[in-house]
Structure 1
Amino acid sequence: MEWFQSLDAVYQALIATLFTWFVTALGASVVFLFKTIHKTILNGMMGFAAGVMIAASVWSLLIPSIEMSQSLNVKEYVPALIGFLLGGAFLWIFDQIIPHLHIGEDRSEAEGVPTSLHRSILLVFAITLHNIPEGLAVGIAFGAVAGGAEGATLAGAIALAIGMAIQNFPEGASVSLPLRRDGFSRMKSFMYGQASAIVEPIAGVIGALLVVTITPIQPYALAFAAGAMIYVVVEELIPEAQRNSNTDIATIGCMLGFAVMMTLDVALG
C-alpha cells in the first residue's frame, strides 16, 4: 500500500481505473464459458450494478461534496446541487448525440443521432456511455485526496474504485453474452465487452487532472460525477433490470448492491 500512496494522484487514478476495466474484462470473459445467461440472473446483476452506483453517488460523492463545501463562502448544499444537476445534463446531452442501443431493445429503438452502425456496436456504445461517469468519479476521488479536500481520504477513493469494479463485472457480461447469442464468435464478443470500459482510464485521468489543477472545483466535480451516475441508473440500468416480469430479483439485486457499496465506503473510507 505504501508504494501506491507515494504515487501522484493521476497515476493512482490510472491504476484504479485500469483495475475497473480489468474487472469488466473478467465479466466479459464469461462468454468463453456460456453462450447465454438466464434473463432473471442478468436482471439481478443489472439491479446490483444500479444499487452500487446509487450508493457510491451518495456515500462516496455527494456527502464528501457537501463536507468540502463547508469551508467555502457559499451555502454548503449549493456546490453539490449545481454539480449534481450539471452531471445529469452532461449525460443527457451525450445521450442525445451518441448513437446507442440498450440491452434487450430492437435495432429500431436505437437512440442518439441516426446511424447505420451494427446493433453490436450500438450496444457497446451504450455501456461505454455510462462508463464515462464511473471513470470520472474514481479519478475525481483520487484527485480530491491529493488536493487535500476536507473529507476526502485515500481509503475512500479506493473503496469507490472497488465498488465500481464490482459492478463492472455484470456490465462486461451484459455486453458479451448478448453478442454471442446474436452469432458473434466468443473472442469477438469478449473483445467488444471489454472494450466498453476502455473509456474509464481516460475519464479517470481527466477527472484527477482537473481537480488537482483547479482545486476550487472539487466539491462541484464530485457532485457532477454523482449526477451523471444517477442519470445512468434511472435512464438505463433500472429500466433494463425491470424489463421482464420477474422484477423482484432486480429489486433485491439493487438493494444488495447498495448495501455492499455503503458497507465498503463506511468500512474503508
Structure 2
Amino acid sequence: MVALDSLVFVFIAGLITALATGIGALPFFVFDSISDRGNVALWGFASGIMLAASLFGLVQEGLAEGTPTQIGVGVAAGVGLVVVAHEVLLDADIDPREYEEADFTKLVLILGVLTVHSFPEGVAVGVSFADLGLASGTQLFGFTVPLLAVFMTVAISIHNIPEGTAISIPLRAMGVSKWKMVWWAVFSSLPQPIGAVIAFAFVRTAREFLPYGFGFAAGAMIYLVLTEFIPEALETGAELPRGGKPVLLGGLALGVALMIPLNFV
C-alpha cells in the first residue's frame, strides 16, 4: 500500500508542472504578441529539454534498473499508446480558441486530447519519484527526494512554459482576458498531476515494471517531440529564412545544454 503522504507529495510535484504552463501566458501581460522567430525558438527550446530529459534522465535511469530490452519494450508501449489514443480521438486537433465557447461535451473532448498530450509527461514525473523516501537524494519537506525526480520536475516545468505561450496566442487573438489565458494554459496540463500519481502508485506497487515505466515515459515524450513539437516549430517558421531551421536548432541546442548539467548535479 502506497502511503497517502507520498501520493500527495507526487501530486503536488505534478501540479507544479501544470502551473508552470500558466507562466507561458504571462508575457502577454507586457507584450501584445510574440514573433514567429521567438515562437520557433521556444518550441526548439522545449523540444531540447524533453529530449535531454528523456535520454539522459529516463532512459539512463531505466538502464540502471533493467535491461535494454525492457527499456525498448517500454518505449514501444509509450509510442503505441500515444498513436492509439490519437486514433481513438480521430486525431482531433483542438484549437484553443474553442476553449471559451465549448459546451460540456466539447470540454470532455478537449480534456481527452489534452490528456493524450500531457499525460505522458505526468507519467514521467511519477516514475521518476519511484524511489521517494527509499534512496539517497535531497531533503524536501521531510521527504528524501530522488535527484531524478527533481530533474524531471524541473525539466517538464520549463518545457511547459512555451506550451502555455502557444496556447495563449490564439486566445489573445480572440480577446480573452489575460488571467483567463493563464487559467486555460494551466487547464491544458491538468492531466499531469493525475498521471504522476497513477504512475507513481503503479511502479511502487509493482517495482519489477519500473524499467518498462521509464521506457514508456521516454518513448511517449520523444514521440510527441518528433511528431508534434518540431513539426509545429517548422510550420510556424515557414516564412523565416531557411524555414526557421537555424532558429529551431539553436533552441534545441540551448534546451539540451541547459538540462544535461542538471542531470549531474
Q: Same fold (TM over 0.5)?
A: yes
Cα distance in 2 for residues equivalent to 1:66 and 1:171: 30
Q: CA deviation at 1:85?
A: 0.5
1:118-167 superposed Cα distances (whole Å, 9 cap, x missing partner): 9xx86x86555321111110111102445669xxx711211111111111
Are residues 28 and 137 of structure 1, via their aligned partners in 2, closer, same or farther at CA, if it must alter by over 3 Å?
Answer: same
Q: SS in structure 1 opposite 2:193?
A: helix
Cα distance in 2 for residues equivalent to 1:103 and 1:38: 19
1:180-212 superposed Cα distances (whole Å, 9 cap, x missing partner): 113433333332212101111111111110101
Counterpart check, 1:156 vs 2:148: yes
Q: Which runs of 4+ in 1 moved over 6 A?
A: none
Structure 2 counterpart of 1:61, from 32, 35, 58 = 58
Cα distance in 2 for residues equivalent to 1:233 and 1:130: 10
One-letter amino acid of the counterpart of residue 53, structure 1? M
2:142 counterpart residue number = none
Counterpart check, 1:246 vs 2:244: yes
Any conservation in 2 of the 1:175–1:193 contact (CA below 8 Å)? yes
Structure 2 counterpart of 1:95, from 73, 76, 86 = 86
Q: What pairs with 1:132-211 in structure 2 (closer than 5 Å)?
A: 132-145=119-132, 154-211=146-203
Any conservation in 2 of the 1:29–1:190 contact (CA below 8 Å)? yes
Q: CA deviation at 1:29?
A: 2.9
Structure 1: runs of 5 or more not aligned: 1-5, 70-75, 108-115
One-letter amino acid of the counterpart of residue 264, structure 1? L
Of all paired residues, the percent bearing the same amino acid is: 31
1:82 counterpart residue number = 73
Q: CA deviation at 1:24?
A: 1.0
Cα distance in 2 for residues equivalent to 1:129 and 1:96: 11
Q: CA deviation at 1:266?
A: 1.7
Any conservation in 2 of the 1:147–1:211 contact (CA below 8 Å)? no
Structure 1 counterpart of 2:21, from 17, 21, 24 = 24
One-letter amino acid of the counterpart of residue 65, structure 1? G
Any conservation in 1 of the 2:131–2:146 contact (CA below 8 Å)? no
TM-score, normalised relative to structure 1: 0.80
1:113 counterpart residue number = none
1:3 counterpart residue number = none
Q: Which moved more, 1:127-136 or 1:254-263?
A: 127-136
1:131 counterpart residue number = 118
Number of residues of Structure 1 aligned to a counterpart in Structure 2: 241
Counterpart check, 1:261 vs 2:259: yes
Cα distance in 2 for residues equivalent to 1:57 and 1:136: 12
One-letter amino acid of the counterpart of residue 138, structure 1? V
Q: Which moved more, 1:27-36 or 1:244-253?
A: 27-36
Q: CA deviation at 1:177?
A: 1.9
Structure 2: runs of 5 or more not aligned: 99-104, 137-144, 238-242
Cα distance in 1 for residues equivalent to 2:245 and 2:112: 26
